[in-house]
């Protein structure tokens, strides 16, 4: 029988680290007392489904993380026969995604928010990783979801991760309407020279 302990430790450790990092940046933003632009609240209310889904996913992931960490006998039936090298490659990708995710959050600074919204004096961030990709934070998140799937080699984790990746792409593209509405031509020009989630090779910012 395969030994799941190293992967359980990796999986839970990365999940806790990701959750803690998000909480740290959210708390720092709250301490700074940043305000959302008038009118942006309406856009936030339109993201009610997203908020509801994130809440549901939070409890679902808690159940999955707890189940995989404890690894009761019934979890064995959901095991996927992935080779060890692929599972460790997934762990390596996840470890690389973490510093990149911190980099994107620091680059955004006070213009980051847990849900899509515009801040007072909001500026278009187009330096750092945003010079090449419009949604590098989402790119890093998708790598983390893929990493969770490969590390665990578990069907429920994989299904949840694929769903999260699909919705992350959908939300990222949907946010561009908000950005075009606020920045107009400036953002449209920015879109021409950057990729949404991967660099657009041959174009420079």
Angle at 93 between CA 91 and CA 96, to 5 degrees: 110
Residue 147 belongs to a domain: yes
- pLDDT (0 to 100) of residue 42: 42
What is the pTM assigned to this prediction?
A: 0.85
Domain residues for the domain of 70 are 5-115+125-193
Q: 103 is written with which tokens?
A: 């980099």
Q: Could you read off the pLDDT of 73-108 as tens digits, one per residue?
A: 888 899 999 999 999 999 999 999 999 999 999 999
- The count of structural domains within the chain is 1
Residue 201 belongs to a domain: no
Domain harbouring 70, CATH code: 1.20.120.1630
Long-range contacts from 138-142, C-beta under 8 angstroms, 24+ separation: 138/168, 138/169, 138/171, 138/172, 138/197, 139/197, 139/198, 140/97, 140/98, 140/100, 140/101, 140/104, 141/97, 141/101, 141/168, 142/168, 142/169, 142/197
- pLDDT (0 to 100) of residue 35: 57
Residue 84, CA atoms < 13 Å, CB-side half-sphere: 5
Residue 69 belongs to a domain: yes
Residue 204 belongs to a domain: no
Residue 203 belongs to a domain: no
pLDDT at 51 over 80: no
Residue 202 belongs to a domain: no
Residue 171 binned pLDDT confidence (cut-offs 50, 70, 90) = confident
Residue 131 belongs to a domain: yes
Residue 13 belongs to a domain: yes
């Amino acid at each position: 029988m395969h030994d799941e302990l190293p992967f359980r430790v990796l999986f839970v450790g990365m999940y806790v680290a990701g959750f803690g990092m998000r909480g740290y940046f959210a708390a720092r933003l709250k301490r700074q007392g940043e305000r959302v632009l008038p009118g942006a609240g309406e856009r936030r209310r339109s993201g009610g489904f997203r908020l509801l889904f994130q809440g549901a996913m939070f409890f679902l992931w808690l159940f999955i993380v707890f189940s995989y960490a404890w690894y009761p006998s019934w979890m064995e039936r959901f095991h996927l026969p992935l080779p060890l090298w692929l599972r460790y490659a997934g762990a390596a990708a996840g470890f690389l995604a973490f510093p990149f995710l911190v980099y994107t959050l620091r680059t955004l600074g006070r213009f980051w928010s847990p849900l899509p919204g515009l801040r007072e004096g909001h500026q278009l961030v187009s330096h750092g990783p945003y010079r090449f990709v419009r949604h590098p934070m989402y790119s890093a998140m998708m790598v983390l979801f893929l990493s969770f799937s490969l590390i665990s080699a578990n069907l429920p984790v994989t299904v949840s991760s694929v769903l999260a990746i699909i919705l992350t792409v959908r939300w990222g593209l949907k946010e561009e309407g908000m950005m075009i509405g606020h920045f107009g031509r400036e953002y449209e020009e920015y879109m021409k020279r950057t990729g949404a989630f991967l660099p657009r090779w041959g174009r420079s910012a």
